[in-house]
């Protein structure tokens, strides 16, 4: 058959691609999963979405021109997460992003340290943040990305990364030191 | 909140994203601003809580295996749609390219930086990283010589500029050698000086900015740095030696470039 030869050519090309993909991109699966887990606040959903994102990344892989594979992958992961949230939990994306900054957290470092020592409480506080604040905290504090990488991943200028981080940290501090019911009413 | 710095600039400092000059500037500000000191304390405490809590969640083992399997079957299914995916890939490339452009432009146009201060675009983290990297075995010098007449010509043809090279053995800063390095995506000359048993890296690259005096030193992770511009060159000296030592070396470098002295050398 004449098509068999052509098919084999593709196979060779694509298995080379796959090897490169497995070498460059697959090692960042943990980063992909961790970001999905915190954006979606669920391990089960994160498994599905991280998998979908990696398969998408593989389809786009020829467009990857070298460089920072982690940032490249995380950008796709983030987009896939947002698409998923739009479809399944649209309300979460509508949370107001611009919120009053002038309400400074009055918490002392000591009070923060005590509240922050409880992993559950810290995780809950993180999950109460709007997704756009949550993502910069995850990328900076858990993933250790630079501002430049974060800017590329979430597609905003570096100045916006800086101010988003400033606000996110303030909100997280407040969420940590405020009683739960107050935080709930604040979210309204 | 009254202090302009306690917003974004403080966080850029906390994250090591300020350039050397601004980081040092911010540290001086910290000495007198109680609000920033408190805000920084709280932000640092939050950071260490986040790190201690080990919130990072790794992928389940099954996911990796399943992905490998799917990638193989993806190959078989994708041959027919190969054209489509190439187009998408190109579209992505275009998106990525425009993103890069935006990020690049934004980096120079960040509104939170005070515009009157010139941007040196090399962060303190980059400088300290480069210094630490150089201390690893075999990385310190590409050309090891205490002779300035060997080190200086070595740079010729390797960079688009020739850095000023002088030995200060008599003043207690013997020249050890030089190497090429990369700072903030630009090629720079690195001159290595000794100070007792320590090393000082002096990074040099050309600039169009006017001269600036030796800036008060900044410090982070036990390393100090000073920054200055002189005659179209930008300098950053970094080391674990004391800040006064660094300032002395900086003065020596500037003096050696002024005409009357360079005739003697």
Q: Choose the closest CB to B102 out of A33, A72, A157.
A: A157
Range list for CATH 1.10.1740.10 in chain A = 9-93
Residue B117, in any domain of the structure? no
Q: What is the pTM of this model?
A: 0.59
Would the pLDDT of A37 be above 90?
A: yes
Closest CA to A122 of A138, A106, A108, A102: A138
Q: How large a percentage of chain A has pLDDT more than 90? A: 49
Would the pLDDT of B150 be above 60?
A: yes
**Residue B110 confidence class, pLDDT cut points 50, 70, 90:** very low
**Residue B187 confidence class, pLDDT cut points 50, 70, 90:** confident
Same domain, B217 and B258: yes
Collect all residues of chain B within an 8 Å Cβ-Cβ radius of residue A107: 42
Residue B68, in any domain of the structure? yes
The tens digit of pLDDT for each residue in A81-91 reads: 999 998 888 77
The pairing of beta strand B175-183 with beta strand B143-144: antiparallel
Same domain, B135 and B221: yes
Same domain, B68 and B192: no
Residue B242, in any domain of the structure? yes
Question: CB B249: neighbour CB atoms within 10 A?
Answer: 24
The pairing of beta strand B198-206 with beta strand B186-195: antiparallel
> Picking from A85-99, B47-61, B129-143, B169-183, which range would have the lowest pLDDT averaged per residue?
A85-99
Same domain, B143 and B241: yes
B57 vs A: CB within 8 A: yes
**Residue B210 confidence class, pLDDT cut points 50, 70, 90:** confident
What is the Cα–Cα distance from A144 to A161, expressed in whole angstroms? Answer: 14
Same domain, B211 and B170: yes
Contact A158 B107 (CB under 8 A): yes
B11 vs A: CB within 8 A: yes
Contact A116 B45 (CB under 8 A): yes
Contact A165 B11 (CB under 8 A): yes
Contact A169 B57 (CB under 8 A): no
Residue B248, in any domain of the structure? yes
What is the Cα–Cα distance from A52 to A69, expressed in whole angstroms? Answer: 17
**Residue A13 confidence class, pLDDT cut points 50, 70, 90:** low
User: Mutate which of B58, B90, B92 to disrupt the A interface (most A C-beta within 10 Å)?
Assistant: B92
Same domain, B194 and B104: no
Residues near A14 by Cβ (< 8 Å), separated by ≥ 6? B75, B78, B79
Would the pLDDT of A148 be above 80?
A: yes
CATH topology of domain A109-187: Arc Repressor Mutant, subunit A (1.10.10)
Token pair of B160, please? Answer: 């688009």
Q: CA-nearest residue of chain A to B10?
A: A166
Same domain, B200 and B255: yes
* Counted domains in chain B: 3
Note the residue count of chain B: 265
> Picking from A109-118, A176-185, B154-163, which range would have the lowest pLDDT averaged per residue?
A176-185
Contact A165 B64 (CB under 8 A): no
Contact B8 A162 (CB under 8 A): yes
Same domain, B89 and B38: no
Would the pLDDT of B219 be above 60?
A: yes
Please provide residue B168's backbone torsions phi and psi, each rounded to the nearest 5 degrees.
-120, 40
State the complex-level ipTM: 0.81
For position B173, what pLDDT does the model report?
93
Would the pLDDT of B109 be above 50?
A: no
Q: What is the CATH number of the domain that holds B195?
A: 3.40.1000
Token pair of B101, please? Answer: 């452009």
- State whether residue B227 is helix, strand or coil: strand
CA of B150: how far to CAs of B146, B169, B255, in Å? 8, 15, 21
DSSP state of B17: -
For position A73, what pLDDT does the model report?
95
Range list for CATH 1.10.10.10 in chain A = 109-187
The tens digit of pLDDT for each residue in B8-61 reads: 789 999 999 988 888 998 999 999 999 899 889 989 989 988 888 889 999 998
- The residue-averaged pLDDT of A160-174 equals 92
- The mean of the pLDDT values for chain A is 81
What is the Cα–Cα distance from A30 to A51, expressed in whole angstroms? Answer: 11
More confident residue, A184 or B248: B248
Q: Choose the closest CB to A152 out of B55, B103, B105.
A: B103
Contact A62 B102 (CB under 8 A): no
More confident residue, B67 or A36: A36
Q: CA-nearest residue of chain A to B90?
A: A63
Would the pLDDT of A19 be above 80?
A: yes
- The residue-averaged pLDDT of B204-213 equals 87
Residue B136, in any domain of the structure? yes
Collect all residues of chain A within an 8 Å Cβ-Cβ radius of residue B93: 63, 65
Residue B71, in any domain of the structure? yes
- Second CATH level (architecture) for the domain A9-93: Orthogonal Bundle (1.10)
Same domain, B184 and B204: yes
Interface of B with A in 107-166 (CB under 8 A): 107, 109-112
**Minimal Cα–Cα distance from A69 to chain B, Å?**
13
For position B100, what pLDDT does the model report?
67
**Minimal Cα–Cα distance from B185 to chain A, Å?**
12
Q: Quote the domain boundaries for residue B187.
A: 124-264
Same domain, B133 and B250: yes
**Minimal Cα–Cα distance from A32 to chain B, Å?**
8
Bridge partners of residue B181, in order along the sequence: B188
Contact A30 B8 (CB under 8 A): no
Same domain, B228 and B148: yes
Maximum average pLDDT range among A123-137, A165-179, B75-89, B244-258: A123-137
For position A29, what pLDDT does the model report?
94
- State whether residue B39 is helix, strand or coil: helix
For position B118, what pLDDT does the model report?
38
Same domain, B135 and B253: yes
Collect all residues of chain A within an 8 Å Cβ-Cβ radius of residue B112: 159, 162-163
**Minimal Cα–Cα distance from B175 to chain A, Å?**
34
User: Mutate which of B56, B58, B83, B115 to disrupt the A interface (most A C-beta within 10 Å)?
Assistant: B56
- The mean of the pLDDT values for chain B is 79
Q: How large a percentage of chain A has pLDDT more than 70? A: 74
- The residue-averaged pLDDT of B183-189 equals 84
């Amino acid at each position: 058959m004449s098509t068999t030869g052509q098919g084999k050519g593709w196979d060779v090309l694509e298995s080379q691609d796959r090897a490169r993909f497995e070498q460059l991109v697959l090692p960042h699966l943990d980063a992909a999963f961790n970001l999905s887990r915190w954006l979606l606040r669920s391990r089960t959903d994160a498994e599905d979405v991280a998998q979908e994102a990696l398969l998408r990344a593989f389809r786009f892989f020829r467009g990857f021109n070298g460089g920072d594979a982690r940032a490249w992958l995380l950008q796709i992961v983030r987009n896939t997460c947002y698409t998923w949230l739009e479809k399944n939990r649209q309300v979460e994306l509508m949370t107001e992003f611009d919120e009053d900054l002038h309400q400074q957290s009055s918490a002392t470092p000591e009070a923060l340290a005590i509240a922050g020592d409880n992993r559950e409480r810290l995780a809950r506080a993180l999950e109460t943040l709007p997704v756009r604040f949550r993502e910069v905290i995850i990328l900076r504090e858990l993933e250790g990305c630079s501002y430049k990488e974060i800017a590329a991943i979430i597609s905003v200028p570096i100045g916006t990364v800086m101010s988003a981080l400033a606000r996110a940290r303030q909100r997280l501090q407040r969420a940590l030191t405020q009683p739960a019911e107050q935080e709930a009413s604040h979210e309204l | 909140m009254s202090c302009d710095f306690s917003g974004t600039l403080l966080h850029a400092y906390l994250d090591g994203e300020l350039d050397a000059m601004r980081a040092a500037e911010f540290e001086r500000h910290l000495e007198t601003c109680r609000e920033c000191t408190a805000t920084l304390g709280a932000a640092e405490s939050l950071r260490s809580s986040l790190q201690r809590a080990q919130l990072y969640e790794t992928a389940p083992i099954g996911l990796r295996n399943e992905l490998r399997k799917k990638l193989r079957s993806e190959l078989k299914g994708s041959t027919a749609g190969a054209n489509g995916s190439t187009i998408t890939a190109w579209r992505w490339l275009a998106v990525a390219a425009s993103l890069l452009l935006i990020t690049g432009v934004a980096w120079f146009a960040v509104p939170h930086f005070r515009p009157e201060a010139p941007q040196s675009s090399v962060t303190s983290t980059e400088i300290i990283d480069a210094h630490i990297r150089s201390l690893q075995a075999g990385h310190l010098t590409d050309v090891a010589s205490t002779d300035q007449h060997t080190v200086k010509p070595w740079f010729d043809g390797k960079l688009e500029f020739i850095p000023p090279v002088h030995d200060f053995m008599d003043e207690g800063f013997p020249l050890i050698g030089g190497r090429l390095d990369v700072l903030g995506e630009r090629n720079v000359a690195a001159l290595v000086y000794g100070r007792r048993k320590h090393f000082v890296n002096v990074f040099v690259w050309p600039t169009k900015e006017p001269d600036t005096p030796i800036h008060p030193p900044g410090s982070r992770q036990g390393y100090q740095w000073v920054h200055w511009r002189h005659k179209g060159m930008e300098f950053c000296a970094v080391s674990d030696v004391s800040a006064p030592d660094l300032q002395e070396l900086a003065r020596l470098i500037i003096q050696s470039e002024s005409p009357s002295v360079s005739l003697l050398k």
